Amino acid sequence: MTAYRSPLLDRPGAVEAEGLDRGVAAHYGDPLREQRALVRTPGTVVDLSQKGVVTVTGPDRLSWLTTLSSQVLTGLAPGSSAETLFLSVQGRIETAPHVVDDGTTTWLITEAEETAPLVAWLESMRFALRVEVADRSGAWAVLGASAPVPGLGDGPVWRDPWPAVAPGGWSYAALDGPHPGEERTWWEHLVPRAELDALTRDLPLAGAWAAEALRIAAWRPRWGAETDERTIPHELDLLRTAVHLQKGCYKGQETVARVHNLGHPPRRLVLLDLDGSEHTLPSPGAEVLAGERAVGRVTSVQLHHEQGPIALAVLKRTADPEARLLVTDGEQRWAAAQQVVVQPDAGQVVGRQAGFLRGPRGARP
């Protein structure tokens, strides 16, 4: 299979990204300026055309997706956005699409590597229902932005629900003030792939590094970065936006309910403030130490235009939340202070004193 290469990589200064963003630009010559433009300059877009696009059509599409996934999508209004998870029987995250419906079609925006497995699994679950599943990645591309961008056509637009606690969701972050994610808004426009170059010709561009820095600062997990073959939603605070705790049966529900009500997730997401004096960044997968003990790994890392070098990491639940940490990558070392995203005591809500972990505003714990 030929590796994808975006036409926007032919723009001046474009440097190709690696990992999940291979095939699009990491930056166009000035990552920090692009990051500031993404926040402050209307119309700045990020090429996310490496992502997959899956459509589900037919009158049963929303009820069918509800029965299969962690989220209630049955009443999703045209133009409304959601996030859902498809889990294994053990409750581990297999795919995590972004969802928007236009009244006749449900659009699922996916990472490139999760697209084919998701399509294959959905096809295997159709049975006699009135639904059709199609991989439309060849016809549609994705552009990201911090606000809706006029002039990008009539395609659907997904708005990231993070960090609001959706109906039926639950927050595992105990905060004294606003969630850091409230400073970030994020939209993903679906545009005809054949028009990608023309539609962006007169727009300011920011690379994938800029989008990633803002995502990390917002504590926003990403499939394929923060997830691995063992990840359950609780570890990443994804009960907040992607799980409805009162919905009917779906694959993996037993684990979701058991950990939330009676147990604790074995790992927890943190943000790391890294020592910037090294003038380098660790790689995703770098080991995190507390003293001499390995307690986790870095999952995403970037240089933020205001906060400096920051990373998301997944640690063992038992790692001391007050500990100073050390990130190691080969021979290099970075001191790191942690900001707790998922509390060590997350879960076990049955019998818990009210007010520690929170559901939607106004709901009872």
Chain center to CA of 16: 21
- Tell me how far apart the alpha carbons of residues 50 and 220 are, in angstroms, rounded to a whole number: 19
CATH of 7-233, one of 3.30.1360.120, 3.40.1010.20, 3.30.70.2860, 3.40.50.720: 3.30.1360.120
Q: Is there a shared CATH topology between the 7-233 domain and the 266-341 domain?
A: no
As annotated, the binding site includes 188
Helical axes 208-217 vs 31-40, angle rounded to 10°: 60
As annotated, the binding site for substrate includes 188
> In the chain, what are the domain boundaries?
7-233, 266-341
Q: For the segment 175-188, what is each residue's pLDDT rounded down to a tens digit?
A: 889 999 999 999 99
Question: Domain spanning 266-341: which superfamily?
Answer: Aminomethyltransferase beta-barrel domains (2.40.30.110)
Q: What residues are paired with 333 via a beta bridge?
A: 328
- In the chain, which residues have pLDDT < 50? 354-365
The mean pLDDT value of the chain amounts to 94
The pLDDT of residue 128 = 77
CA-based nearest residue to 49, from 185, 140, 155: 140
CA-based nearest residue to 327, from 268, 250, 272, 365: 272
Q: For the segment 300-324, what is each residue's pLDDT rounded down to a tens digit?
A: 999 999 999 999 999 999 999 999 8
Neighbours of 330 (CB within 10 A): 8
